[in-house]
Amino acid sequence: MTAEPDRLDRIQQAWARERPELDVSPQGVIGRLHRVGLHLTDELVAVYRRHGLGEGDFDVLATLRRAGAPYERTPGDLAENTLVTSGAMTKRVDRLEKAGLVTRRPSEHDGRGRVVALTAEGIRVFDAAFTDHIANEHRLVSALSPAEARQLEELLRRWLAHFEAPPAATGER
């Protein structure tokens, strides 16, 4: 089933008219992927907000929660696994600590190091947000058939591999 012509089709037609010597076909993929990404971000962030979280907050809490009990990591591990700078991570952890969702304590293994851990309230808030987040993702993906979703996932995995190396076996959990 082919969708109706959209804004990107009109843009490509205009470029074909104005610059016929250029193959603008990548715009069909890149432009749509970009626009879908913007819509998805808006839809995802709306769920986080309902739980009093921002996108970065959700990311930190998710990284701690999927680490498994005792749900803790060093700030460096958090920054590496969320792909943000240590300065940005400090701001996120400060905000989450102020909200009572995480604590910081000295590391038992490194006298100068710190460890960030989920609090019981952090686990409660995150688990509720994550339940709603997954339901929202199911809703968003339901625009595709299960076979289309699997096909898109594989295509995106292959494409992403050109930009990112796969994680090391001892890396992200």
CA 60 to chain centre: 11
Which pLDDT score, from 0 to 100, does residue 169 have? 60
Report the b/e string of 59-68 with b at 16+ CB within 10 A: bbbbbbbebe
- Overall average pLDDT of the 103-120 stretch: 86
Which pLDDT score, from 0 to 100, does residue 134 have? 97
The CATH classification number of 33-160 equals: 1.10.10.10
| H-run or E-run covering 36 | helix 26-50
* pTM, entire model: 0.85
CA-nearest of 61, 106, 102, 100 to 82 is: 61
Q: Are 73 and 93 in contact (CB under 8 A)?
A: no
Q: pLDDT (tens digit, 9 = 90+) per residue, 13-55?
A: 999 999 999 999 999 999 999 999 999 999 999 999 999 999 9
Q: pLDDT (tens digit, 9 = 90+) per residue, 49-102?
A: 999 999 999 999 999 999 999 999 998 888 888 878 888 888 999 999 999 999
| H-run or E-run covering 72 | strand 72-73
Directed axis angle between helix 86-98 and helix 75-82, to 10°?
110
Which pLDDT score, from 0 to 100, does residue 173 have? 46
Report the b/e string of 11-49 with b at 16+ CB within 10 A: ebeeeeeeeeeeebeebeeebeeeeeeeeeeeebeebbe
